[in-house]
Structures are given as structure tokens and as C-alpha cells.
Structure 1
Amino acid sequence: MTDEVAIVGAGAAGAGAAYALRDANVDLTVFEKSQGVSGRAATRRKNGCTYDHGANYVKSDDDRVSTLLTEVLDDDGLVDIEEPIWTFDGDGEISEGRDADEHKWSYETGITQLGKRLFAETDAAIEHGVRVAEPVREDDGWRLRDDGGSDLGAFDAVLLTPPAPQTSDLFGSANWEHRLCRELRRRIATVPYRTIISAVLHYPFEIDLPYYGLVNSDKDHDVGWLSREDCKDGHVPDGESLLVVQMAHDWSVEHHDVSETELTDAVSDMVADLLDDADLAAPDWTDAQFWRYAQPEGAIEDDVLEKGASHDLYFAGDWVTGEARVHAALRCGLETGERMSERFGG
């Protein structure tokens, strides 16, 4: 008998879990609210440019993830950013960063290829444009409903991968008369999150800089991160430059309802000041994205999530590990998917 398994969310954690379940004796359905995969490891294309406007790259901090990207999955088009990352402080003073000798990977066609290539190795059915709103506990498993109340089907096990606040909200409407339901909602809701606005600034000329990215080292500047997409092969045509600028949490929260034009005007002025180049105050085109739940700043410290497994309810994501990195979310998904595979005869 084949078991029915659902994954909520097609980000790095969901893709990793689906990959780990590829040989298990399950029928796997993935519900994703957007029209794409990979979550915040997102890629856009505009005017001949490709840019990673959420997560910028995958670090090589995890040996298993590194092996997966470079030796197991198709590595055609894999890009390793060679330029270093430098730092700047609250006064805008730029300094050379520490050479950590680590890899920074994306793809010529964008970092979203990570999720696409993982899912391509599976037989998972991905249902796009579906927002799961209510898990209903039944005697022999779970039934999911969307935000319109439509039945999405019955499942023997469910894996939840949305950001912690959204996962917590699911238990506010869950039809599950069990104290663990209330405990999960309360404990998951305690995970703090950083909100980030990403501004994309394009210029019809080359910017000559000795680094790929700048990171604010003292958390005392309105700009939190700045990087050059033209350092990634295949992303930006020759003779052009494209900057991805991610703003600090407080600034992002204060400007969440500002128009894109006003927002990118303010960001480009700050970039021109930070890099001491007046020409950068006038990009020829821009883009922006508001990430409400961009990065977790902690994790649940007790074993409440482990209790869910006894009810065939699982959790994965960077908020489970407490490390806001793509490789951490992917590794968590892989490990959780393997646990589920063992449970269902993989």
C-alpha cells in the first residue's frame, strides 16, 4: 500500500525533503502558494538581466549540501562567485573582509534552479497557487483545506515548511483537540523574524569594485547588504551593472507601504553615498521586493517539534535550525525527508 504524504511549501526545505523521499513508497504532493519553487531563493528576469533578489547564494558551510550541488545534481551552469565579501560599519566605512575561503554558489539562470533541479529528481506533484490554511486531524491521518475551505485531500503524513509565524497560524485554525496543537502554536510563534526590503538597481555602465558584496558589520546602518549580480556568470550583460541592496529590518518595517519609486530613490541615494559615487543615485531601472518573513533570528529550544512526529506531523526550514541560510534549510529538509522515508518504508 502506498502512503499519501503532503509537503506544505516548495522552498529549499520542501525541495530537500521531496528529494529525500524520492525512493520512498509514497505518493507525494507539494502545495505551494506561489507560482514558482525555491521560496526566498528566488530569481527574477528583467531587461536581459537575471538576479537573485532574496537569498543571494548558497554557502559551502555544509559538506553534504556542497556534495549535492557539485557532484550529485546536474552542475551545468553552476556559478561560483570568486569576488570576496567586504564589510562596512554604521558610518559607512568600508573595510576588507576576512577571506573565509568558502564557495558562494548560484546558477547562470538563477538560484531558483536549486529547487527546480531537486524537484526534477522526484515524482512529486506540485500544486501551485494553493495556500494551505487548515490541517484537520482525522483518526488515520490528516486532511488539508485551502484558504477558501476547499478540500485538498487526506494524507498519512504532513510536513510543514512555511516560516514560523505562518506555521503557527495554521494551528490557530486546526481542528485538532489535543494539547500539542496549542503548544505547537504557542512555541512556534516565539521564533523572531527579520523583515527585509530588497531593492534592485540597474546601471547601463560597469561599476569597478574589488568585491562581490558588502555586509554591515555592526548592524548600525540602514543598508544591511549590497551585492553585484554582474559577478555571477550569465546574470548581467557585458557593460552593465546590477546591484541587489537589502535594507535593515527597522528601515524595511518603516517603509513597507512606500511606493517602489520612492523606495528605490531613497535606496539609490544611500548606495551613492556609501560607495561615494554620485552616478549611482540614478539607476536606469529598478525593482523591489518586500520580504515580511525574510530571516529567522532564533529557533525553538525544546523538543516540541519532535512530539509532532508521533502524530505524523513534521517540520523543516531555516527557522527549525535557527540559521537563516539556504544550505541550512536544505539540510534540514533532507534530514526530515529521510526520517519520513524511514517511517514509510523508503
Structure 2
Amino acid sequence: MTVPIAIIGAGIAGLSAAQALREAGHSVHLFDKSRGPGGRMSSKRSDAGALDLGAQYFTARDRRFVTEVQRWQTQGWVAEWTPQLYNFQGGQLTPSPDEQTRWVGTPRMSAITRALLGDVQAQFGCRITEVYRGEEHWHLQDAESFTHGPFSHVVIATPAPQATALLAAAPKLAGVAAGVKMDPTWAVALAFDTPLDTSMQGCFVQDSALDWLARNRSKPGRDSTLDTWILHATSAWSRQHIDLPKEAVIEQLHGAFAELLHSAMPAPVFSLAHRWLYARPAGSHEWGALADADLGLYVCGDWCLSGRVEGAWLSGQEAARRLHEHLQ
């Protein structure tokens, strides 16, 4: 009987590792604390349709990732998003077009990770709290005190602070992960009955509590009768207001949005707030992935590289490559 490889975390990094390992002939078992795959690429179903509250779009620069995104496009999982972009600085809102190719999942961001999951064996709603070594294999313990295993290797594909807690068996790797600072982001969705009077579809914001905002319906494949906007607060504002009640977060960011548009904005017919505690790494690293090959522990995630979706995917590929090579 082949002992499978455990992968903790079903965001882009974990799914990328799972895909590469399966292609190399390995059996994998995924675990994630959420109800479904996606991590920060997931979309939230709501009364205003599906909302991309996390990653808003992604770019592809590395040749390997460009090839992968082309495959996704052929499958119909992604499409190019060409928003009317603006910049807001010093109280001025100015059009800010650029040449960047931006990709989004269709009809929602989570389409990509759902498709990547495919028929991989996965357990959702399962928060792994401990990774420990038996006589010859790895075992995982979850928050309900259930034990999962045996596993030949373990790939940890979670944000750095969560990875640190799972790396007790590899103090060196735990030390590296513990040194990575990740920034939070408050995300707010606002939906309006009457479309807001602006041609703006995406905006990079300076000198405000806001960092970014996007008009959801400008993305390909989104159909909603409402005019829905996604607002992201800056890391600094989010950290300062990390425990603010959701209603207050919505109120403050709605106010910042109105200030930016210089208009008496109508009250939204729908609103929600979501707190990403570990939205993005504060800096970028060049590790690719972390590994203790002798132990059989591997770590990947956007924080091992650029902090972007591309970095997460490449990191998952790198963890899988190292693991597979060690077995050769």
C-alpha cells in the first residue's frame, strides 16, 4: 500500500503542489480549515452574487506560470480583465491606464481553485493543529483531537504564522517561518441599487484608509443586478483597526469611498466585511519553498516568494519538485 503525502492548506500553493505531485505519480490528501478550497482566492456567495473578497486579480510574469494561465484560459477558468483604472492621490481622482495584463477567475475567482482541486482527496472544515512523527510515518492531529495518517511526507501550505505552529518537529524551518511578517487587510463589499455615477472600474488609492477598490460587474462573467464594489483597506489601517466591529469597518470604509468620489453616496442595499488576518507577506523572499528533506517536511506559500498569486503557484511547484527529487 502506498502511503499518501499530506498537504495542509488548499489555497493556490497547496493545490499547485498537489497537482505537481499527482502528475509525478504520488498520492496526496489535502486538508483545509475552510469549507472549500481557495484560501485568499476564494469567493464569497452572497445576496449580491459571488464576491471576490481576497485576491482581486493576478498577473503572470514567469514563463512557467504564463503557460499554466494559458491552460486555465483554454479551460475557461480565467479571462483577461481590462478595467478602466484610476489613481486617487492628494484628493485627486485621475484616469491611470497601464499595459499590465490582469487575469481573473470566471465566473468568480474561486473557479480556478475549484477546478484545480478536481478529484483530489480532500478534507475541508478540518483545522490541523499538530504535525508529528511516528516511528516511520507522519501523523496529523486536528482541532477536534482526531488523528489523520499515516503519511510519508507533509507539505505545509499555509500563511507563515500558521505554518510556524505546525513546524514543531523542524525547529529550523519554524524559525524561518516565525520571522516572516504578514499584513492584514479588511475587505468590504458594498452593493447599490442604482449604479454609482462613475466610469471607474478599479482604483489604486493613496493617502486614505483605502488601498484599492474595484467594481465587481466590470470583471468578465459576473452578472448581478446590483452595482457591487469591493474595497480593500491599507495594511496600516487594517492593523490599527484589527478588532473593530464589522459594522464600524463598513461605515468607515464606505465614508472613505464617498470622499474619494466627492459625492453624497447612497446607502448600500447590502454590505459585508471580511478580515484577512494574513493577507500578504510584508516583504518578498527568494526561498521558493522551505524543506527538511531528511525529515520529509516541506513548506510553500506566497510568502516564500513574491507574495503574489504567481508566487504561491510557483512555490507549490518548487515544494513538489524538491519532494519528488528527494525520492528519486
So what's the TM-score if we normalise by structure 2?
A: 0.91
Could you say which residue in structure 2 is the equivalent of 1:117?
A: 115
| Structural mapping, 1:1-346, within 5 Å | 2-71=2-71, 75-76=75-76, 78-89=78-89, 91-97=90-96, 99-108=98-107, 110-120=108-118, 123-171=119-167, 174=168, 176=169, 181-217=170-206, 220-238=207-225, 240-280=226-266, 282-299=267-284, 305-306=290-291, 308-321=292-305, 323-344=306-327
Structure 1 residues 342, 208: closer, same or farther in 2, change over 3 A? farther
Shift of residue 62 of structure 1?
3.2
Q: Which amino acid aligns with 1:294?
A: A
Q: Which amino acid aligns with 2:296?
A: D
The separation in 1 between residues aligned to 2:124 and 2:220, in whole angstroms, is 30
User: Which of the pair has the greater relative contact order for Cα pairs under 8 Å at 6+ separation?
Assistant: 1
Deviations 1:126-161 (A, max 9, x none): 011111111112342322111233211121111001
SS of 1:274's partner is helix
The separation in 2 between residues aligned to 1:339 and 1:312, in whole angstroms, is 10
User: Is 66-75 or 129-138 further displaced after alignment?
Assistant: 66-75
Deviations 1:237-296 (A, max 9, x none): 25x31110011123223333333222212211110111112125x111101101111110
Structure 1 residues 63, 301: closer, same or farther in 2, change over 3 A? closer
Deviations 1:215-250 (A, max 9, x none): 135xx4211111110101332425x31110011123
Gaps of 5+ in 2: none
Structure 1 residues 130, 252: closer, same or farther in 2, change over 3 A? same
The separation in 2 between residues aligned to 1:235 and 1:164, in whole angstroms, is 32
Q: Which amino acid aligns with 1:261?
A: E
> Do 2:140 and 2:149's aligned partners in 1 also have CA atoms closer than 8 Å?
yes
Shift of residue 300 of structure 1?
5.4
Gaps of 5+ in 1: none
Shift of residue 304 of structure 1?
9.5
> Do 1:31 and 1:132's aligned partners in 2 also have CA atoms closer than 8 Å?
yes
The separation in 2 between residues aligned to 1:224 and 1:72, in whole angstroms, is 29
> Do 1:187 and 1:300's aligned partners in 2 also have CA atoms closer than 8 Å?
no
Q: Which amino acid aligns with 1:332?
A: S
The separation in 1 between residues aligned to 2:163 and 2:39, in whole angstroms, is 15
SS of 1:191's partner is coil
SS of 2:51's partner is strand
Q: Please provide the CA RMSD for this pair.
A: 2.3
Structure 1 residues 43, 302: closer, same or farther in 2, change over 3 A? closer
Provide the aligned length of Structure 1 versus Structure 2: 328
Shift of residue 80 of structure 1?
1.8
SS of 1:287's partner is strand
SS of 2:40's partner is coil
SS of 2:275's partner is strand
Q: Which amino acid aligns with 1:140?
A: E
